[in-house]
């Protein structure tokens, strides 16, 4: 069966999440004809996520149809090469999305920039500690960009997503009330910071007594009614919880649906095609130029969409898999260390210490929209890592994210898993605990990578992506250190008892941890260790841009979404301002 | 006998399975001075609805073979759907009970049932077709869901799970003003079901009006 071949367009964009929507908007408003292909369904925020139905933990967190349908497509996973990778049969450690709006339609709104250090981590660590301080099997890399290059694009993204916060560093001047350790900002946040909860105030007192500087973490849930850069209106967050995993009924959480698509839909040169599953990027006979993409449309027809520019703007896994399925770039081989596609896959480290009180009570169901009080002293490379013997960092915070009744309960250590004692403990402590949480970096290592699975196939008969990943000693040492710092903070809170999570030394794909999967198609300045250049342009195919979490050479501590959005703005600008006038390699 | 006081109907489960589950879930979340346990909260009805629905046949889960046992880190690798796992496991546990104690699980003394559940959890009972811990973990996951999910799904009857926690359910429009408050907030819980059936009215924004209570009456402290 031959594919229907459509009329060429200037740009075809794969995915309608943060990257796909912003890049489509930027390029369509510059006059280019843009087609955006999305494998998921179209939703209407005003009717599909109405009150009260959105306030349903079972429907959205456990059985969600805004998450990827694993019956059609999943990944396989193993801890190391000696094992056989098996399919992720049900959603566990992470929850990639599948809808117009992408994964960020149900994100938690954690809108932190990375630190200047993060973009030049290899150079700076070598400079401070010497190259031998970096673990031998760690593929630590610079991004090929510096803070001064990309700061304007963080600023642009924040004006689109209406980020609320208080600047801690304005053009080098430290500001009271903000995060003094953040990179210098060119201007204040577009929206005010969140208010401090009871838990946040207790945390702030505790960390101040230990010499740290508390601040309200930035958020992409509106802290005031806001009209964004694209003239789209978003309403102030109602703090009703049901935030992460859920699409906001208020439209208060910035995401492609609430912040970009209403403006994008009005662009005359833009077309969105939902329920279209891209199978591959097509390239010319010598493999140097992309000719477009081939996809299966909603009715099951195979369709070829020719385009002058192809942008892969999908989730990390999908970007890497499409490169591998299309035969673009050399697949990574962990035995030789050669090849680049699938190399430098990384995840996110996390943990927490719980404080249980018998004399304090909270309202843990009020919150969401990333209301948190944080410290950044342990992030980046502020504290001398020499004596500590690890690289990487974390921010530590307490967040009131809206504790839901199925998954939001905490009980002290030693409580039985079920039965009468467990019942008494959840009744006593659901409202009487707070978490001191660690959100930490995860570096890239030679043995952690992505490739195509030799056995398992998706619904179209194509190989699943295979993830080979385990925690590394360096990162586990860092987590031990961070856990000790959290315990000190927790002790200063004078609770009755402390608890914690011990997730073991091997990564498990069960139990939700974070949807922050990154790498596999990383950006950089050396084609032997990166898939795309500093403008997210393929080294091999110059009219192909691969944009998203897949471009991170390793994962810094702060959540990835803000930087994914920034990279979309940065790459779109490079295409508009330079590539269109002078097609070819931008470096 | 299941006395079926609420007149519940069942879509998937058969009578011996209902009896098994009513006995088992009542140990997992027992009735006590804090309030009703899982049986009276309708958890078995919840499990029945889940098994009869898309999740029961793993409608959105990857089902392709080959099926290997895998490591604990690799998660759910059974070739059985939840429907199949419940049917097979309950039959085989009852066969074990009849062989050892001459009676099915539901007819054993309470302390014997409790001991058996502990053994299932520790994988100490060798069932012919699946690991007993696998089934126990599934049962506990669904019991907790059924006790705390919205009453829409047949469990959490009279919102007993939410009253136990002091969870008010569907948020009110006042939460934004209460964000910084250190005063404990207690309200009669409101479910999605309450709003859908018109039992609780909503304001112009679609938020229910909460009825404030001094403190959860179901709690000991």
Reported as a single tens digit per residue, the pLDDT across B197-208 is: 999 999 999 999
Distinct helix (H) and strand (E) counts, chain B: 8, 0
Percent of chain A with pLDDT over 70: 100
For B70, nearest residue in chain A (alpha carbons):
A86
CA angle, A459 as apex, A453 and A465 as ends, to 5°?
25
User: Which runs of consecutive H residues, i.e. helices, occur in chain B?
Assistant: 15-28, 43-52, 82-101, 110-121, 132-148, 160-165, 175-178, 192-196
CA distance A117 to A113: 11
Q: Please judge whether B74 and A77 are an interchain contact, meaning their C-beta atoms are less than 8 angstroms apart.
A: yes
pLDDT per residue as tens digits for the range A246-289: 999 888 999 999 999 999 999 999 999 999 999 999 999 999 99
Q: Please judge whether B59 and A83 are an interchain contact, meaning their C-beta atoms are less than 8 angstroms apart.
A: no
Which member of A90, A195, A409 has the closest CB to residue B76? A90
Q: Please judge whether B34 and A424 are an interchain contact, meaning their C-beta atoms are less than 8 angstroms apart.
A: yes
Among B178, B166, B190, B142, which residue's Cα sits nearest to residue B41? B142
What is the model's pTM? 0.97
Residues of A in contact with B148 (CB under 8 A): 57, 405-406
Residue A549, both tokens: 């979490």
Backbone phi, then psi, for B138, in 5-degree steps?
A: -65, -45
Ramachandran area for residue A499 (φ above 0: left; ψ -120 to 50: alpha; else beta) = beta
Find residue A468's DSSP bridge partners: A78, A449
For B29, nearest residue in chain A (alpha carbons):
A419
Among A395, A399, A397, which residue's Cα sits nearest to residue A362? A399
Cα–Cα distances in angstroms (integers) from residue B130 to residues A91, B93, B114, B177, in the given order? 21, 11, 20, 52
pLDDT value of position B2? 47
CA distance A465 to A331: 12
Which member of B28, B58, B68 has the closest CB to residue A419? B28
Going by pLDDT thresholds of 50, 70 and 90, the confidence category of residue B217 is very low
Going by pLDDT thresholds of 50, 70 and 90, the confidence category of residue B6 is low
Q: A130 by DSSP, 3-state: which?
A: coil
End-to-end alpha-carbon separation of chain B, Å?
A: 36
Percent of chain A with pLDDT over 90: 96
Q: A437 by DSSP, 3-state: which?
A: strand
How many A/B residue pairs have CB atoms within 8 Å?
Answer: 191
- Angle between helix B82-101 and helix B43-52 axes, rounded to 10 deg: 130
Among A366, A18, A380, A347, which residue's Cα sits nearest to residue A163? A18
Among A342, A318, A341, A346, which residue's Cα sits nearest to residue A516? A346
Contact status, residue A418 vs residue B29, Cβ threshold 8 Å: yes
Residue A568, both tokens: 């979309």
Q: Please judge whether B74 and A78 are an interchain contact, meaning their C-beta atoms are less than 8 angstroms apart.
A: yes
CA distance A575 to A532: 14
pLDDT value of position A1? 56
Statement: residue B3 has pLDDT above 70:
no
DSSP A32-68: --EEEE-SSB---HHHHT-TTTT--HIIIIIS-SSB-
pLDDT value of position B7? 73
pLDDT per residue as tens digits for the range A100-139: 999 999 999 999 999 999 999 999 999 999 999 999 999 9
Residues of B in contact with A90 (CB under 8 A): 58, 61-62, 75-76
Contact map slice: B 39-68 vs A, CB within 8 A = 54-55, 58-64, 66, 68
pLDDT value of position B33? 98
Going by pLDDT thresholds of 50, 70 and 90, the confidence category of residue A86 is very high
Q: What is the mean pLDDT of residues A395-417?
A: 96
- Stretch (H or E) spanning A456: strand A449-457
Kindly report the number of other CB atoms within 10 A of residue A561's CB atom.
Answer: 26
Residues of A in contact with B171 (CB under 8 A): 55, 238-242, 365-366
Contact map slice: B 124-143 vs A, CB within 8 A = 140, 143
Q: Can the peptide bond before residue B185 be classed as cis, meaning omega within 30 degrees of 0?
A: no
* CB burial of residue A587 (10 Å; 0-12, 13-18, 19+): exposed
User: Which runs of consecutive H residues, i.e. helices, occur in A306-405?
Assistant: 316-326
Contact status, residue A349 vs residue A438, Cβ threshold 8 Å: yes
Q: What is the mean pLDDT of residues A353-382?
A: 96
Say whether the ipTM exceeds 0.90.
Answer: yes
Statement: residue A576 has pLDDT above 60:
yes
Q: What is the mean pLDDT of residues A27-46?
A: 94
Contact status, residue A13 vs residue A23, Cβ threshold 8 Å: yes
Statement: residue A196 has pLDDT above 80:
yes
Mutate which of B75, B196, B201, B214 to test chain A, going by most A C-beta atoms within 10 A?
Answer: B75
Q: What is the mean pLDDT of residues A11-18?
A: 98
Q: How far is B61 from chain A (nearest CA, A)?
A: 5
Tokens 């050479």 belong to residue? A553
Tokens 């889960």 belong to residue? B61
Which member of B30, B54, B178 has the closest CB to residue A423? B30
Distinct helix (H) and strand (E) counts, chain A: 12, 22
CA distance A268 to A272: 11
Residues of B in contact with A57 (CB under 8 A): 148-150
CA distance B110 to A273: 59
Mutate which of A86, A404, A471 to test chain B, going by most B C-beta atoms within 10 A?
Answer: A86
pLDDT value of position B214? 77
CA distance A358 to A242: 26
- Residue bearing the bigger pLDDT, A50 or A331: A331
Which member of B32, B75, B190 has the closest CB to residue A90? B75
Statement: residue A364 has pLDDT above 90:
yes
pLDDT per residue as tens digits for the range B99-156: 999 999 999 999 999 999 999 999 999 999 999 999 999 999 999 999 999 999 999 9
Ramachandran area for residue A500 (φ above 0: left; ψ -120 to 50: alpha; else beta) = beta
pLDDT value of position A504? 82
Which member of A63, A89, A238 has the closest CB to residue B171? A238
Residues of A in contact with B61 (CB under 8 A): 70-71, 89-90
Residues with Cβ within 8 Å of residue B62, at least 6 apart in sequence: A70, A71, A74, A87, A88, A89, A90, A456
Q: What is the mean pLDDT of residues B157-179?
A: 97
Chain centre distance of CA B104: 22
Going by pLDDT thresholds of 50, 70 and 90, the confidence category of residue B4 is low
Catalytic site includes residue A246: no
Residue A502, both tokens: 């011990």
């Amino acid at each position: 069966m031959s594919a229907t071949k459509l009329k060429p367009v200037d740009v075809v964009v794969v995915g309608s999440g943060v990257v796909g929507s912003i890049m489509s908007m930027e390029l369509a408003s510059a006059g280019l004809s843009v087609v955006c292909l999305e494998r998921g369904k179209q939703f209407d925020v005003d009717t599909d996520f109405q009150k009260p139905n959105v306030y349903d933990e079972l429907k959205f967190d456990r059985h969600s149809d805004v998450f990827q349908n694993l019956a059609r497509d999943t990944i396989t996973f193993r801890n190391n090469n000696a094992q056989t990778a098996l399919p992720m049969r049900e959603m566990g450690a992470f929850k990639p999305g599948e809808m117009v709006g992408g994964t960020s339609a149900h994100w938690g709104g954690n809108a932190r920039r990375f630190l200047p250090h993060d973009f030049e981590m290899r150079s700076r660590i070598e400079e401070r500690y010497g190259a031998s301080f970096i673990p031998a099997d760690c593929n630590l890399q610079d991004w090929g960009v510096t803070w001064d290059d990309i700061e304007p694009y963080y600023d642009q993204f924040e004006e689109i997503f209406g980020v609320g916060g208080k600047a801690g560093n304005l053009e080098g001047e430290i500001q009271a009330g903000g995060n003094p350790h953040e990179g210098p900002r060119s201007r204040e946040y577009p929206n005010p910071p969140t208010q401090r909860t009871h838990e946040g105030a207790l945390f702030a007192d505790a960390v101040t007594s230990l010499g740290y500087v508390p601040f309200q973490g930035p958020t992409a849930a509106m802290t005031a009614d806001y009209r964004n850069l694209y003239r789209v209106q978003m309403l102030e967050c109602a703090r009703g919880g049901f935030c992460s995993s859920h699409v906001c009924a208020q439209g208060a959480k910035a995401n492609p649906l609430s912040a970009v698509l209403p403006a994008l839909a009005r662009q005359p040169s833009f077309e969105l095609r939902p329920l279209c599953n891209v199978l591959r990027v097509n390239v010319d006979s010598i493999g140097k130029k992309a000719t477009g993409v081939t996809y299966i449309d909603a009715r099951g027809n195979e369709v070829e969409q020719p385009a002058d520019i192809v942008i892969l703007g999908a989730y990390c896994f999908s970007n890497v898999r499409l490169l591998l399925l299309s035969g673009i770039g050399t697949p990574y081989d962990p035995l030789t260390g050669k090849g680049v596609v699938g190399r430098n896959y990384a995840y996110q480290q996390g943990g927490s210490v719980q404080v249980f009180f018998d004399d304090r009570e909270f309202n843990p169901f009020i919150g969401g929209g990333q209301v948190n009080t944080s410290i950044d002293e342990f992030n980046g490379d502020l504290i001398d890592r020499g004596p500590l013997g690890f690289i990487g960092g974390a921010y530590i915070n307490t967040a009131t994210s809206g504790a839901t009744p199925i998954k939001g309960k905490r009980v002290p250590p030693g409580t039985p898993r079920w039965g009468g004692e467990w019942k008494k403990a959840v009744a006593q402590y659901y409202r009487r605990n707070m978490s001191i949480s660690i959100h930490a970096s995860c570096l890239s290592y030679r043995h952690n990578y992505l490739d195509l699975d030799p056995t398992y196939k998706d619904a179209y008969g194509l190989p699943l992506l295979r993830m080979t990943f385990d925690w590394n000693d360096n990162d586990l040492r860092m987590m031990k250190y961070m856990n000790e710092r959290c315990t000190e903070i927790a002790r200063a809170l004078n609770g009755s008892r402390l608890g914690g999570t011990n997730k073991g030394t091997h990564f498990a794909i069960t139990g939700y941890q974070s949807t922050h999967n990154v790498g596999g198609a990383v950006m950089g300045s050396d084609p032997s260790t990166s898939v795309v250049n500093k403008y997210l342009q393929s080294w091999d195919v110059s009219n192909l841009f691969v944009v998203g979490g897949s471009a991170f050479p390793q994962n810094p501590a702060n959540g990835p979404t803000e930087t994914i959005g920034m990279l979309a703005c940065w790459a779109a600008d490079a295409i508009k301002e330079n590539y269109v006038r002078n097609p070819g390699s931008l470096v | 006998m299941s006395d079926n006081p609420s007149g519940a109907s069942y879509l998937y489960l058969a009578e011996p399975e209902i009896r098994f589950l009513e006995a088992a879930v009542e140990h997992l979340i027992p009735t006590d001075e804090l309030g009703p346990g899982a049986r009276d909260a309708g958890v078995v009805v919840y499990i029945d609805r889940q098994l009869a629905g898309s999740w029961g046949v793993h409608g959105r889960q990857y089902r392709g073979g080959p099926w290997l046992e895998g490591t604990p880190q690799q998660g759910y690798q059974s070739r059985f759907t939840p429907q199949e796992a419940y049917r097979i496991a309950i039959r085989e546990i009852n066969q074990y009970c009849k062989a050892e104690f001459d009676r099915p699980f539901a007819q054993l003394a309470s302390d014997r049932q409790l001991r058996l559940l502990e053994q299932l959890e520790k994988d100490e009972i060798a069932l012919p077709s699946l690991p007993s811990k696998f089934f126990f973990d599934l049962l506990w996951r669904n019991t907790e869901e059924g006790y705390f999910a919205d009453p829409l799904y047949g469990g959490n009857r009279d919102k007993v799970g939410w009253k136990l926690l002091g969870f008010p359910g569907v948020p009110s429009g006042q939460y934004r003003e209460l964000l910084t408050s250190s005063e404990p907030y207690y309200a009669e819980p409101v479910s999605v079901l309450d709003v859908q059936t018109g039992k609780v009215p909503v304001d112009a924004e679609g938020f229910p009006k909460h009825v404030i209570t001094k403190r959860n009456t179901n709690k000991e402290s």
